[in-house]
Amino acid sequence: MITRTAVVAGFVLAGLGASLLVAQQKLGHNDAPEGVSMKTTYDISSLKYTAAEKKNIDLAAGYYRDCVQSHHPELVYNFLAKDEINHNPNDPATPDGLMAMLSFRFPKPDPLHKELEPLPNLLLAKDNMVLLMYDQQEKDPADPSKTYTYSRIEMVRMQNGKIQEHWDVGDRRGNAQSWKIEWCSKAGRSDCPKP
């Protein structure tokens, strides 16, 4: 999930993931959409995209690169529909909320990154859906001296040239994510947890 969730929780993991990617093999993508680096570590030899799917990949990659990874809130509506639906219960519920969160957490956005970093380990596009899957590493809870690999996804549905719906994995069990409290009221949510 290079999603909003990754913005919040994933930067340490992203660093680890980037290191992992550097060490892994790269494969040029068949019929790669322009402007999107299609390096991946899983077998993508069966994939072939339509022109519409390529556009959708570009839109998804542009969103994650410019807004989520480069932290540019002013570009959110270049990619997201006004009434975009977000299925991560820990994310801002609306694009306006996402802009508020990005502004709050990253008052100085990065210069726009040239490409996704880290790159997804697997990228799929089918009709109006795009999925990015990432290998992540974290400490093994049973033995913190070791790390292990798990996966996470970002999945979006396109409609009328914009991202209309977003899914990634996040729940509210375990340790409450205290970061969400800080910007929650600014994000237009009605179910903010009590600090």
Which residues of the chain form contacts with another protein (CB under 8 A)? 25, 27, 30-31, 42-48, 87-89, 122, 124-127, 129, 131, 133, 138, 140-142, 148-153, 155, 157, 167-173, 176, 191, 193-194
Q: In degrees rounded to 5, what are phi and psi of residue 95?
A: -60, -35
Is residue 166 within 8 Å of residue 95, measured between CB atoms?
Answer: no
Minimum distance of another protein from residue 43's CB (angstroms): 6
Is residue 71 within 8 Å of residue 102, measured between CB atoms?
Answer: yes
Q: How far apart are the first and last CA of the chain?
A: 26
Tell me the C-alpha to C-alpha distance, in Å, between residue 58 and each of 67, 116, 161, 163, 194: 14, 11, 11, 11, 39
Minimum distance of another protein from residue 156's CB (angstroms): 11
The nearer residue to another protein, 119 or 125, going by C-beta atoms, is 125
Minimum distance of another protein from residue 107's CB (angstroms): 28
The nearer residue to another protein, 160 or 178, going by C-beta atoms, is 178
Minimum distance of another protein from residue 2's CB (angstroms): 15
